[in-house]
Each structure stands twice: as C-alpha cells, then as structure tokens.
A and B are shown apart, each in its own frame.
Chain A
Amino acid sequence: MTLLLDMLTTAAILYGVAAGLLIVFGVMKIINFAHGAFLTVGGYAALLVTAMGWNPWWSLPCAFVVGAVCGMAVERLVMRPLYSRPLDAILATWGLGIVIGQCITLTLGRGVQFVQSPVTGAVALFGTTYSEYRLLLVPVVLCVVAALGWVLNGTRLGLMTRAVIMNEELARSLGINSALVRFATFSVGAGLAGLAGALITPLSSVDPNMGVPWLVSAFMIVMVSGVSLVSLGVACLVLGSAQVLVSSWANPILGGLTIVVLAALVLRFRPEGFARG
C-alpha cells in the first residue's frame, strides 16, 4: 500500500517539476536547461520565507513570483536571439543555470539547509501511516494542473498560446503578438519551476545544485510526453511508478536511472512518446 502511495506522490512531484518545462517546450520548442536553476531559486525562496518566520504556506506563492521574475529577466536578456537556434538555446540556458547557481552560492553559501514543512506528521490511510505532506502534494499539483488547464482553455491568453503552439507563423500573421506569448509562457514556466522547487524542498534539503537531478528527469519526461498536459500526466505516472518500483526492489541509484533510460528507449521505438496514446 505504501508502495502505491509512493508511486502516486512521486508522479505528482514529477508532474509539478516537469509542467513548467513542458509549457516552455510546447510553445517555444526550446528546452530550458535553466529550469533546474529556477527550481533551486524556488527552494531558496521557500527557505527565506520560513527563515523570516512567515507561515510556510507563503513560500509557495513567493517562490512562484520569484521564479517568474527571474524568468522575465532571462527571456528579455538571453532567450530572444536564440529562438531560431534551439540547440544553442540548450547551451545558453545551461550556462545560465551555472550563473544562477553561483550567484546563490556567493550570496547564501553553499551549505545544505533544511526548510520547515507546512504540515508535519503522518496520517493513517488504508491501513498504513503515510507522510501527510507527501499526500498533500497530490491535491496541490492537481490544483496547479487545473489552473494551467483553465488558463490555456478558458482565457484569451490561453487561446493565443494554443494558436502559437499549433502554427506560429499563421498566428503572427493574424495579429497575435507571439513575442508577448513567448514572454508570458517563459515567465509562467519559470514561475512553475520556482513553485515546484518550494514544493519539493520540505522533502529533501536545499543546496545550490539541488535542481540538476530534477532537471534531467523532468527533461526526459517532457521529451516523451510531447506537448499535452494529459500525456505528461501519463508519462509521470508510468515513469514515476517505474522509478519507485526499481528503487524499492533493486537499489535507489538504479532507481534514479530508471526514468532516463526508460524514456530514452521509449523515444527510440516510439518517437512520439506518450502523446496520442
């Protein structure tokens, strides 16, 4: 039973981490390797919020805002010239990740720090006791998905975004300001990364390189899920479950490899990944 709950919560965490990367990839066809750094920024935002003695729940909106602001600056300064060079964009955002990581190291130190969790304790559920916070992640991530879905399908900006995803040339010629759409997307993507960073910090710890392992998993998940929020969910459930199973039956290090290797194989034999099926 614990195993099932582990699978579910792992999938939720992965979804939270990968969602921001997915919308940036979907709209811009660009892999944002600074995603891991935005994640770290979110984690530190959470750290600062709790260190100031505020309610830990405040860390979520704060992390989102801080991440989004970082994203805005990066989009303006770095991403603009790189839209036509997707492979270079990977490199530039990776370099950016290094820069952000070093800035954090220089200002906040390189040590590992711990963040206070908004809820502690465990609940009894289906005959086992389980961490309350991990369980809470599931509805929180579902809320994020619902919000994203609402923005994409229920607002004007979302309509414009979907138009840009399908055919940017046409969208632009119809008078849609695709630069604005890109700007908004990148900011929201970075904000989501920050939010995810704040969400995962109570489970582990905060250090300047905390984002890198997450980045790789999220990247591979996005590669197999195409550009749909639904297939992202499927990919997270399948690969997250596989990771939990391998970790508990073999060893955690191999478990860490599961997502990467499985995703690579899925792509080799089914290039469209989990999309459309």
Chain B
Amino acid sequence: MADLPLSAALPAAPLRTKRRRLALPALLTVIALTLVLGAPELLPTYLVNTLIRAFLYAAVAITVDVLWGYTGILTFGQSAFFGMGAYAAGLVFTHLGFSPGMALFALAAGVAVAMLVAALLGWLAFYPGASPLYGSVMTLVLPIVVSQLLYSGGNFTGSSSGLSGFESFDLSIEAWFRIAGVFLVVLTGAVWLFVRSDGGKILEAIRDNEQRCEYLGINVSRVKVVLMIACAGIAAVAGFLFACVQMVVAPEYAGFVFGTELLMWVALGGRGTLIGPVLGTLVLDVTTSYLSGSLPFLWKLLSGLAFVIVIVALPQGFTPALWSSMKRWRRQAAAPLAALELQTAEPRPLAGLQGAGRHALALQDVRKNFGSLQVLQGISFHADPHELLSLVGPNGAGKTTLMRCIADGAERSAGKLWLNDHEIKRAPPFACVALGAGRKFQNANVFETLTVAQAMRVARTRHARPSLWRRSAVLPLPAAALQVMQATGLDQHLNLPASELSHGMKQALELAMVMALEPSVLLLDEPTAGLTKPERTLIGQILVDLTREHALCVLLVEHDLDFVREISSRVIVLHQGRIVLDGTVDEVVQSELVRAVYAGGAHAGSS
C-alpha cells in the first residue's frame, strides 16, 4: 500500500498556512517581550510593583487554566503549590541564610516538594474510575491541609503572620519586573505551543469525553497525574519568585481562598484560552490593589457578582465572547485551516503483543451480578480471527453487559477472560485496548469539540506518539480506518468539529476511531441504531470486508435480525444471562427455541 494522497492540498500549502499560523503569535510574543523589557522605567513605581505580583499570579492562573479550562479538572489546589515554592524560599532564607547557592537549593527544594505532593495528590484524586467531583474535592483538601500546617508550624513557619524580613536577591524593582514579565511571556508561549500541538489535543479529548479516551487506549489517570505534577512545578517556581521579590510569605498564599481566586480570574478571563486568564489576572489583580484602599468591600462584592454572572450566563468568559463577536466581521479574513494529508500507516496490529494467539477471544464462566441480580450466569465461548459473531437476544439478556465485561477487566464479578490468549485479569479499559480490544459504544461516543482529523489523531496516540509542541501535516491511519472514512465521506470533512456532524457521520467517526486502534477483537454495540437503510448496508459491507481482509474478530450486538442474517458467520443467542444457542445463521433462524425466546415465555433451562 503506497501513500494515499486523499486531500487535494498542494504540497506547499501546509507550509504556507503553518507560517501564517505562527506569524501572529510570534508577533504577539515579541510585542509582549518589548513591553515587558521597556515598560518599567515608564510606569509609576506602585504599578510596577503591583504588576510584578500580577505577572506571577498570572503564571499560576495559566496552570489552573491548563488543568481546568483545557483538561476539565476543576482544581482548587494550585495555590498550595504556589505556597510551597514561596515557603521554600522563605524558610531557607530565614533559617539557613541567603546566598545564590541557597536560593538555587530553595528553588529546587520547593519545586521538588510541590511535584512530590502533586504526584501523591494525583494518585489520590485520579485513580481509575474516580468521579470528577471527587478529584475536585481532593484538590480542595490540599490547600486547606497545607495552610493549616503552616499555621501550626510555630516559629518555624511563622504561624499566622508568616515569614518576613529575610534577605533576598539585591535587585531593583525594574529588574524584577523584567524577570517576572519574561517568565510569564515565555511560559505563555510554551503552553500555547503545547495546547495547540497534536499531543495537547489529548487534554481537550479528556475534557470532552474521558470514557472514550480510556477506550482508545489512553491512560487518562496517568496523563492527569503527569499534568498535575508539571503544573505544580510551574506554580512552585512562580511562588519562589514571589517570595524573592516580596520578601514576605504568609499562609494565605497557600490557602483555599487564594485557590478559588485563581479560578475566578481564569473564569472571568476565559477558560480554555491562554490570553484570557493572563489578561483576567492582570486586570483584576491590579484593579483590586488600586481599589482596595478606597472601597475594598464594594470592589470585592462587584467582582464576586461579576464572577457569578459570568459562570451562569457566559461560561466561556470574556475573551472568547469578545473573540467570537470580532470573528463575525473578520470572517472572510480568517486563515484557512492547515490542510492535512491522510496517509496509510504501516499495519502494526497487536503492537507489543507476541502475535495473534490461538483464539482472538475466550471466555470461561464469566459472571456479572448487580447485587442479588445475576445478569450473566456463566458465559463460556471462544471466537477466532475472521469470525463475525453476532450476539442476539431480547432486551435484558445481558448483551451489552457482556461487551462491557470484555472491554474492562474490572466489570465482571467472576470468571476468566482472554484476549489473544492474554488473560485480562482486572485490567482497566486502556490496558484491554493494548491486548487488542476495540469497543464502539451503542450511542455515538465521540469528542464533540475536536475536529475529525484531531479525533483520529487522538485515536492513534497509542501507535504514534504525538508531538508535544508541533502539529503534523500528515495523518497516517491504518487502511481499515481509511476505508471507513472514505466509504462514509468523512475524509471530506477533516476540519469539521464532531458536534457539526450528522448522527450517522458520528457513528462512522467512532467506528473509524476504533479501527485506528488496529484492534483484533472489535466490539460493536448496535452500530446501526438510528441509521438509514443505505448507511446500514454500507456499514454491514465494511464489517464483512474487515473480517475477511484484516483478520478481525468482530463481536456484534444487534436487534435487527435481518441485518444479522446478512453479515454474520456465527450467532450466539443470549437469554436471561445464559447462552441458549451457539451456531450458524441457519441453525439459529430455524430454531424453535429462538422463536420462543423472542415471543417471550421461554426459560433458559427449557432446552
């Protein structure tokens, strides 16, 4: 299979659009750096002082934005990491004295402690199956614990009055302004590259649909923990700089109220953008410090009110709202999205496994109970490559439950299960994907805000590790995924967000994503539900091709018996959690038992 140029893009086009894509941000960065380096002499001292603090706060706000705006983890805990960095400086300079070496030690210690704590927090908050609310609760607990420990630290931490009067770098305010400003600009630029890169799209995929990510073989918990650790490190650096400039640290900086304040800045500025939280922090913090003298309570009241209104009425914040109203009149000028070339990837089925086993799928006495209700009562069968096995049975027979048990090791109550001769034990979904399982859900389960191309690349994460700072102009996909995309016309809509696709197209996109995993056992739960007759025939044809040409073992749950008859090579009839028949299509069609089961009244033992 040679490269398959599917898009009509000229070879030079991607390069040109890429340059244009980078031009504006590069220009903005240069302007920002010039401002930061040139401004301190021109501004009043009080403003310079305030801005230094605001720059550092904005750096922390960016980490909040990455976690909350991009990845969907509502975190109250970034203040704690900021406090750790600040206290590292404060404690070291107070108790061990100041020297450049000591400063370096304090920075390293602060960052290391913050990252360690973040790893611990991540382990607590993001275990597989944890609810998002639970994760947020944990991030809420952290700053409370840290600030209370600081309060109870006596003379060592300075208790409620904190530490002050320690020696620090002997630098002018202007120099600090430049350091803090450059730190913020560089951080913003780096994070900008990251969140727009192919790898950064995984964050938005997690925000959109965590479950789909798991079933695309992405270890979501690990991604979240790593992200948490990185963000903690950045917040600690900001805290360290803060302590060096202000020469004072207090427990409030590690507290829960500061954590919520960060959220307010990000929410008002615009979560899921980078410029929004930065501007939000700068504007709000500077205004606060100017107004805190004249009308402190009224200002706090107004900002609280603004926060409530924004959350209720304008959840995306001010910047995106402004942006979209600006876009309306500059629509024509908008640069075309970078053209993307689809390619055929080297087939690597079962990457990392030692070839296909004896059976693609084997079950032995699999059971599932919900309380005292036995939904699956000892299912045993095996299926081989090239088989298209249909699971049929009336509602409540346990078909979908069986699918769940195959794709997630934690689901079943008892029994053993092998994928390609590897016992899955209690493996979470992403590990089952590594063993060859690919599951398509009953309802189209896609990433609503990601484009078709982005979603496909996320689906390829396991095979082709995406870059963390670049966007690739080519998208290599396995032949089977390409076939699905071409047959359904998805390849014509690569830059369309999934939310704008029709229901049938979404189903096709999900199927294509699952095919991009190069599974050896394909689990399909009513793939044709809600589709038109032509779409249904098309998907049926694709499934038959897949089993024939790509040595797939397909397990299909279907209510439409005509559809089953057309494409299956084997049928299993489930009834009340037991297998009542396992045979060819003809055997099943002619079976009295099956007729009785569907007519109702038959019981599983009656054969």
For B531, list chain A residues within 8 Å (CB).
none
Would you give the shortest CB distance from A108 to chain B, in whole angstroms?
Answer: 11
Chain A 199-228 near chain B by CB (<8 Å), digits 1 or 0? 000000000000010001001100100000
Are the CB atoms of B301 and A103 closer together than 8 Å?
A: yes
Are the CB atoms of A223 and B137 closer together than 8 Å?
A: yes
- Complex Cα distance, B136 from A254, in Å, reads 22
For A253, list chain B residues within 8 Å (CB).
148, 151-152
Are the CB atoms of A92 and B311 closer together than 8 Å?
A: yes
Are the CB atoms of B74 and A106 closer together than 8 Å?
A: no
Contact among B132, B144, B263, B312 for A257, CB-based, below 8 A: B144
- Segment at the A interface, from B302-310, B443-451, B505-513, B562-570: B302-310
For B138, list chain A residues within 8 Å (CB).
264
- Complex Cα distance, B313 from A99, in Å, reads 17
- Complex Cα distance, B141 from A219, in Å, reads 11
Chain B 142-181 near chain A by CB (<8 Å), digits 1 or 0? 0011001101100000000000000000000000000000
Are the CB atoms of A99 and B301 closer together than 8 Å?
A: yes
Are the CB atoms of B312 and A90 closer together than 8 Å?
A: no
Would you give the shortest CB distance from B286 to chain A, in whole angstroms?
Answer: 19
For B307, list chain A residues within 8 Å (CB).
91-92, 95, 98
Contact among B127, B151, B303, B312 for A92, CB-based, below 8 A: B312
Are the CB atoms of B311 and A91 closer together than 8 Å?
A: yes
- Segment at the B interface, from A40-48, A79-87, A121-129, A183-191: A79-87
A251 within 8 A of B: yes
A96 within 8 A of B: yes
For A216, list chain B residues within 8 Å (CB).
140, 144, 256
Are the CB atoms of B308 and A264 closer together than 8 Å?
A: no
A78 within 8 A of B: yes
* Listed residue (A96, A216, A256, A264) with the most chain B CB atoms within 10 angstroms of its CB: A264
- Complex Cα distance, B151 from A256, in Å, reads 12
B290 within 8 A of A: no
For A87, list chain B residues within 8 Å (CB).
74, 132-133, 136
For A264, list chain B residues within 8 Å (CB).
124, 137-138, 141
For B303, list chain A residues within 8 Å (CB).
98
Q: Indicate whether A95 sits within 8 Å of B74 (C-beta atoms), given known contacts A106-B297, A268-B124.
A: no
Would you give the shortest CB distance from A169 to chain B, in whole angstroms?
Answer: 16
Would you give the shortest CB distance from B555 to chain A, in whole angstroms?
Answer: 30
For A106, list chain B residues within 8 Å (CB).
297-298, 301
Are the CB atoms of B133 and A86 closer together than 8 Å?
A: yes
Would you give the shortest CB distance from A271 to chain B, in whole angstroms?
Answer: 7
Instruction: Find the B residue at minimum CB distance from A268.
Output: B124
Are the CB atoms of A95 and B311 closer together than 8 Å?
A: yes
The size of the chain B interface, using a CB distance under 8 A, is: 39
- Complex Cα distance, B166 from A221, in Å, reads 41
A132 within 8 A of B: no
A102 within 8 A of B: yes
Instruction: Find the B residue at minimum CB distance from A106.
Output: B297
For A78, list chain B residues within 8 Å (CB).
308, 312
Are the CB atoms of B152 and A261 closer together than 8 Å?
A: no
Q: What number of residue pairs across chains A and B have CB atoms under 8 A from each other?
A: 95
For B227, list chain A residues within 8 Å (CB).
none
Are the CB atoms of B74 and A92 closer together than 8 Å?
A: no
Instruction: Find the B residue at minimum CB distance from A82.
Output: B312
B300 within 8 A of A: yes
For B149, list chain A residues within 8 Å (CB).
257
Interface residues of B in 114-143 (CB under 8 A from A): 124, 127, 129-134, 136-138, 140-141
Q: Indicate whether A94 sits within 8 Å of B260 (C-beta atoms), given known contacts A82-B312, A85-B315.
A: yes
Would you give the shortest CB distance from B203 to chain A, in whole angstroms?
Answer: 16
- Complex Cα distance, B311 from A38, in Å, reads 20
A260 within 8 A of B: yes
B403 within 8 A of A: no
* Listed residue (B140, B264, B267, B308) with the most chain A CB atoms within 10 angstroms of its CB: B308
Are the CB atoms of A95 and B308 closer together than 8 Å?
A: yes
Instruction: Find the A residue at minimum CB distance from B68.
Output: A87
* Listed residue (A94, A256, A271) with the most chain B CB atoms within 10 angstroms of its CB: A94
Would you give the shortest CB distance from B320 to chain A, in whole angstroms?
Answer: 15
Are the CB atoms of B308 and A96 closer together than 8 Å?
A: yes
- Complex Cα distance, B304 from A267, in Å, reads 31
Q: Indicate whether A260 sits within 8 Å of B311 (C-beta atoms), given known contacts A99-B304, A105-B297, A216-B256.
A: no
Are the CB atoms of B312 and A220 closer together than 8 Å?
A: no
For B300, list chain A residues within 8 Å (CB).
98, 102
For A92, list chain B residues within 8 Å (CB).
307-308, 311-312
Instruction: Find the B residue at minimum CB distance from A252.
Output: B152
Are the CB atoms of B308 and A260 closer together than 8 Å?
A: no
Instruction: Find the B residue at minimum CB distance from A212.
Output: B257
- Complex Cα distance, B297 from A219, in Å, reads 26
For A256, list chain B residues within 8 Å (CB).
148
Would you give the shortest CB distance from A76 to chain B, in whole angstroms?
Answer: 12
- Complex Cα distance, B264 from A96, in Å, reads 12
For B260, list chain A residues within 8 Å (CB).
91, 94
* Listed residue (A82, A92, A219) with the most chain B CB atoms within 10 angstroms of its CB: A92
Instruction: Find the A residue at minimum CB distance from B131.
Output: A271
- Complex Cα distance, B458 from A192, in Å, reads 48
Are the CB atoms of A260 and B145 closer together than 8 Å?
A: yes
- Complex Cα distance, B141 from A257, in Å, reads 9
For B136, list chain A residues within 8 Å (CB).
87, 90
What 5 A-B pairs have minimum CB-CB distances, sorted nearest first? Answer: A98-B304, A102-B301, A95-B307, A253-B152, A95-B308
| Chain A to chain B contacts (Cβ below 8 Å), 7 pairs | A96-B304, A102-B300, A220-B141, A223-B137, A254-B152, A257-B144, A264-B141
Query: Known contacts A105-B297, A220-B141; can you find 10 more A-B pairs with CB under 8 A?
Result: A31-B133, A82-B312, A87-B74, A88-B311, A91-B307, A102-B297, A102-B298, A212-B257, A223-B134, A271-B131
